[in-house]
Amino acid sequence: MLAAVVCALAVVLGVVYVSKPAPAAMAIAPGIGIVAEDPAGRVATVCTLGFLARGADGARYALTAGHCDKGGDVTLSDRADGNLRKIGRFAHSVPGHDEGPDIAVIRLEDDELPRDPWILTERRVRGDTTTVLLEEDMLCFDGRISGQQCGNYSLVLHTVRSRQAMANLAFFTATAQPGDSGSPVYRLESDGSATAVGILSGTVGDIGVVATLVEPYLEQWGLRLDTFRP
């Protein structure tokens, strides 16, 4: 989680790139701000929406961080009129205990607000990958609070209870703030497009940030990454 500090040793390369925070949402898209409510309908936490996905049944979904699931509805947090608008509910969650994977999927229910799989409706998402990343790879996320933050993939050595959990995490040299959890994490390609890599979980001490890889969980939940823009 964003407030958590994980004891780790890393080989850190590269520089951090920063841009302005995300604008108000005009569509359901990766990088917009969301509010997660508790079962009583009270605001519980603010997060960022990750990549969009489709189910075999034709239903539409969106990813975010598992610790953002507070048991209630998911609403948009940055509408111009100041009102919250329900867009769906959590369908599956992996809450990120013991520094493990931290990812969730929201079943989208709002059929009126446009949906756009491009990051903040601007950056094309070309597909996803679990290919072993290289230290020269530039990874970025677009968060509700921090905007775009980029840094190099980092080799990290630390103790976790499950090797499988470690295999589903990626670390890179960027900074994040509360509210950025759930952001889409992507490899920035030479043409400016994005290859989906993970979902932002939080910070790792002074090393950088950690993300949960998306591809294993898309497969587990019977989903496919949505890259088609009507």
- Based on the fold, state whether residues 96 and 148 are members of the same structural domain: no
pLDDT at 229 over 80: yes
Domain shared by 126 and 207, yes or no = yes
Structural domain total, the chain: 2
Domain assignment present for residue 2? The answer is no
Q: Could you list the residue range(s) of the whole structural domain that residue 64 is in?
A: 33-118+221-225
Same domain, 103 and 90: yes
Q: Within this chain, do residues 113 and 130 fall inside the same structural domain, yes or no? A: no
- In this prediction, residue 95 carries a pLDDT of 87
Whether residue 83 sits in one domain with residue 98: yes
Residues 86, 57 share a domain: yes
- Calculated CA dihedral for residues 198, 203, 204, 206, nearest 10 degrees: 130
pLDDT tens-digit readout, 123-136: 999 988 877 567 77
Q: What is the mean pLDDT of residues 91-117?
A: 90
Whether 3 is in a domain gets the answer: no
3-state SS, the chain, equals: CCCCCCCCEEECCCCCEECCCCCCCCCECCCCEEEEECCCCCEEEEEECCCEEEECCCCEEEEECHHHCCCCEEEECCCCCCCCEEEEEEEEEEECHHHCCEEEEEEECCCCCCECCCECCCECEEEECCCCCCCCCEEEEEECCCEEEEEEECEEECCCCCHHHHHCEEEECCCCCCCCCCCEEEEECCCCCEEEEEEEEEEECCCEEEEEECHHHHHHCCEEECCCCC
Specify whether 108 is located in the same domain as 135: no
Same-domain check for residues 204 and 127: yes
- The answer to whether residue 27 is domain-embedded is no
Structural domain includes residue 176: yes
- 91 and 47 belong to one structural domain: yes
Structure tokens at 100: 């493990």
pLDDT tens for 64-80 read: 999 999 999 999 854 55
**Among all chains, which residue has been given the structure tokens 């049944």?**
57
Neighbours of 59 (CB within 10 A): 14
**How large is the average pLDDT for residues 134-156?**
87
Residue 173 has pLDDT above 70, yes or no: yes
For residue 10, the tally of other CB atoms under 10 A from its CB is 18
Q: With 70 as the cut, is the pLDDT of residue 85 above it?
A: yes
Q: Are residues 39 and 109 in the same domain?
A: yes
CATH number of the domain to which 131 belongs: 2.40.10.10
1, part of any domain: no
38-51 mean pLDDT = 95
